[in-house]
Amino acid sequence: MTQLTPAAGDPGRTVALPHLTASPAATQAAHDWLLGYQENPNTLRSYAGTLAEWFEVAVTAGVDPLDATRVTLEQYKGWLYDRGRKPSTVAHRLNVLGSFYRYCEQEQLVARSPVAGVRRPRLPDAPTSTGLDREELNAFLIEAGRRGSMTYALMLLLALNGLRASEPLTALVSDLGTLRGHHTLAIERKGTAGSKTRVPLAPVTAAAIHEWLIERRDLLGQEDLGHGLLFMAPAGGHGELRDVTRRRVHTWVRSIARAAVPGKPGLHPHDLRHAFVTLSLDAGVPLRDVQDSAGHASANTTRRYDRSRGQIDRHATYTLASYLAGATTREHTPARSGG
């Protein structure tokens, strides 16, 4: 199994790549392409998994990945659907392979990308997230507060900052800071490998993180507020701590949801991000500001996250009628019949 260490040079973040069953040329091409993503271990791991799956499917069908055709890719798309993959997953897999084969074209390993022309699934404009309303999110966070300072601080970041689960997990204690009176955390946003973005922390979030830092310092026997990864979980009963994985965050979210929101036991960390967008808009935060806060490149993405879009209680007619109140009463009063 090949090992790739992210460009930051931290051996603790080494990514083990799955075995690729294909010709030496195809395997080398995959390895070389993945090198371009070594700054982001999560992306690297995800893309490597997609390539490993595709390579296995192609080779099983008697086709080397560098000899694949559009028909082969259409068959792979059908293979994904046959195994119950969601349209969004199928689209993601095809996008990853499209990027890989564009690289192969540039390196003259293939004459033309076999993904070109393969139709991507049409994704629904409405989100498929479970979602949480205001009362449910409050209940979720209250229950999270009963699970310990580390879990509470992490859930507040997911819910009140709309972070992706992977973003706080790679943050360091040294990424905490202040800016113009704001408590902040510097995170690596999706698609911004190598650079970090400062996000402000609500007072409740900053207080929860500080409480966890004190507990973390005592557990590790460090001085001041410690160093290393910000979020670490107990490992065994000897006061040891280990890295928190996204899978573990998923388990915690579901456990909290079962206790706090029994009707939604299948809650996913990304549902908290959806709730962040929806409830921020409900609270009156402008779409542009929610887009920036969520780290979305496009406002269309933010609108897809907004589960309340289209509800009648937020229809523009009420605001516009209030805005035009004077004109509405004076000039738009209908005349009496027969007057």
pLDDT at 274 over 80: yes
Report yes or no on 315 lying in a domain: no
- For residue 66, which amino acid is it? L
For 107-170, give the DSSP string.
Answer: TTSSSS-TTTTPPPPPPPSS-------HHHHHHHHHHHHTT-HHHHHHHHHHHHS---THHHHT
pLDDT of res. 331: 47
Q: What's the confidence (pLDDT) of residue 192?
A: 57
Give the domain extent around 230: 134-304
Instruction: Return all residues near 239 (Cβ < 8 A) that are at least 6 apart.
Output: 219
User: 253: which residues sit within 8 A by CB, 6+ positions away?
Assistant: 155, 158, 267, 268, 269, 271, 272
- Shared domain check, 286 and 148: yes
Residue pLDDT, tens place only, 107-152: 999 999 999 989 888 766 555 555 788 899 999 999 999 999 999 9
Would you say residue 326 has pLDDT above 80?
no
**Can you tell me the mean pLDDT for 12-21?**
57
Q: Same domain, yes or no, for 268 and 138?
A: yes
At 203-248, the pLDDT tens digits run: 999 999 999 999 998 888 888 888 899 999 877 656 678 889 888 9
Position 312 pLDDT exceeds 60: no
Question: Are both 204 and 297 inside the same structural domain?
Answer: yes
Q: Are residues 296 and 193 in the same domain?
A: yes
Residues 258, 195 within the same domain: yes
Contacts of 307 (CB under 8 A, 6+ apart): 127, 129, 131, 274, 275, 278
54: amino acid identity, one letter: W
Indicate if 206 and 253 belong to the same structural domain.
Answer: yes
Please check whether residues 86 and 224 belong to one and the same domain. no
At residue 252, the pLDDT reads 95
- The CATH number covering residue 255 comes to 1.10.443.10
- The torsion angle over the Cα atoms of residues 272, 278, 282 and 288, rounded to 10 degrees, is 120
181/282 same-domain check? yes
In sign, the C-alpha dihedral spanning 108, 112, 297, 89 is: negative
245 in the same domain as 100: no
Looking at the structure, tell me whether residues 208 and 172 fall in a common domain: yes
3 state SS for 254-294: HHHHHHHCCCCCCCCHHHHHHHHHHHHHHCCCCHHHHHHHH
User: Please, are residues 26 and 65 in contact by the beta-carbon 8 Å criterion?
Assistant: yes
Q: Which residues contact 321 (CB under 8 A, 6 or more apart)?
A: 328
Q: Which residues are CB-contacts of 196 (< 8 A; sequence separation ≥ 6)?
A: 175, 186, 187, 188
Answer yes or no: is 233 within a domain.
Answer: yes
* 329: in domain: no
Structure-block tokens of residue 190: 């999706």
Of the pLDDT bands very low, low, confident and very high (cuts 50, 70, 90), residue 257 is very high
Segment 155-198, tens digit of pLDDT = 999 998 889 898 999 999 999 999 888 999 998 877 556 678 88
Of 100-114, 266-280, 310-324, the least confident: 310-324
Please state, in angstroms and rounded to a whole number, the distance separating the CA atoms of residues 243 and 55.
Answer: 31
pLDDT, averaged across the chain: 81
Average pLDDT on 268-290 reads: 85
Domains: count for the chain: 2
Task: Report the chain's C-alpha Rg in angstroms.
Answer: 24
- pTM for the whole thing? 0.61
For residue range 67-91, list pLDDT tens digits in order: 999 999 999 999 999 998 888 889 9
